Structure 1
Amino acid sequence: MTVSASTAPPQDEAPAPAPDRAQTSATTSTHPRGPAPAAAARKRRGADTRALTQVLFAQLKGLEPGTPEHHRVRGALIEANLPLVRYAAARFRSRNEPMEDVVQVGTIGLINAIDRFDPDRGVQFPTFAMPTVVGEIKRYFRDNVRTVHVPRRLHELWVQVNSATEDLTTAYGRSPTTSEIAERLRITEEEVLSCIEAGRSYHATSLEAAQEGDGLPGLLDRLGYEDPALDGVEHRDLVRHLLVQLPEREQRILLLRYYSNLTQSQISAELGVSQMHVSRLLARSFARLRSANRIDA
């Protein structure tokens, strides 16, 4: 069989020695996909971003606001620091709000921080910008996301209640009571309960949504139904009002006739009067009730 010269190994070439275990371990630990190189790469990117930010701010300081060059450098600063916005927005993933909206709001805070930053004060820009970005996102959730608008004082107190709850849970090893939270913050228990209720107002639950986990039907299926007797509430109140205007004996006759379902003969035997007299008393009572009926009037 003929072997091509391009594929046949040279006769005088010795086989390569197998790598030892130490060399293999070192190669594996420095693999580009390993955790250590990834962390080092993130640190390098962070350092490069900080260095670029310092250079851009130095350029921005010498430019006239409103000029094309000023806009270009300012845009480069925004783009370079967008990872900072995404990092801050990731803290709000549990709010079930689209992350693109949160990043947009955080970018507004980033722009405000860039416009207010003074590099001569000796503060790193991320340290200065982070509170502004987070504050803008929190303001967005406070003013736009809540289904029920909560007063600002109550919202700020709600943040304190949450912090106190976490601290007391760590200290006691259990969930604190309302009185313990109130004592910690030196507020009333009613204010604590109001804050807890305010914290539930971010999203409204649909009445038709099925309950998760318990296998029960939606809230709409478990709510009370319309009572058909509600239509007669006004009439019952009117009858009660009119009955008290009748003499006691006529009231008793009406009750025996229409509430106890007795016949006129049974009523006559009950009261010791004739059936004809019972009939006349019923007719007279009806006439009085009709004349006093304010609905018919």
Structure 2
Amino acid sequence: MTSSLQDAVERYVVERDAETSHVDEHARAVAVAALPLVRSLARRITLPDHPLATYRDLENAGMLGMLQALGSYDPDRGTPFASFAFGRIRGALVDFLRTIDCLSRDRRRRVAEASRTAEVLSQELGTEPRAAQVAGRLGVSVRSYNRLLGDAQQRFALSLYDGGDDRPTPLDVVASPDAEPADASAEAASTNGFVGALVGRLPEREQRIVHLYFFEGLTLREIAGEFHLTEARISQVLSKTLRTLRGQFETHRVAA
């Protein structure tokens, strides 16, 4: 795939620089050759529960990123196009997910309700409730409850991939272009398990803040009220905690 893509790109660049009438034809050939790369990156994203978030939408966004990379690619610099385009494709996927809410307000409310219900049941039973028990108390199916759990885990796990500013913002999960394909559900389960272990090693206060923000959907202001601190202080604690977790998570990904 990589060699055929590189060949198609280099033929396109020749036509582009010569401003021939065949440039559009070669651009289409590049798009066809690049589709497996774009698709593999898009398919490694855990889709948020949103009507606009489909893999076809992600692939279209990723293809636009690829075309942007194609317009500025210079093969004389020696960088393979797949490596050069990876950042643009990833950025396009991130930008697309930023245009839609990772979780709608109603979905965040339902996630928070499920979390509180599980906590109440845990206190009543004196042990961790089964999914069927929580689902029954909520009046939903076990499958629907498991999806709510997945939403809560996703909202937190995706934030670990945002290495930008200090504001904890959910982003996409995109594997390295050199990574071997893996079963998405097994990979997600492994990620969630490791993330849970990381959180479990945090100090009690940081654990509580992470849980309130990502799993119960509270705002910084609401969390600040519970801890009798300022919003700015809660934001600092949350950002510092996420930076620590990101470092540990990245170390784990590289080692894996």
TM-score by length of 1: 0.37
Q: Which has the higher helix share?
A: 2
Ranked by relative contact order (alpha carbons within 8 Å, sequence separation 6 or more), the top structure is: 2
TM-score normalised by L of structure 2 = 0.42
Structure whose alpha-carbon radius of gyration is higher = 1
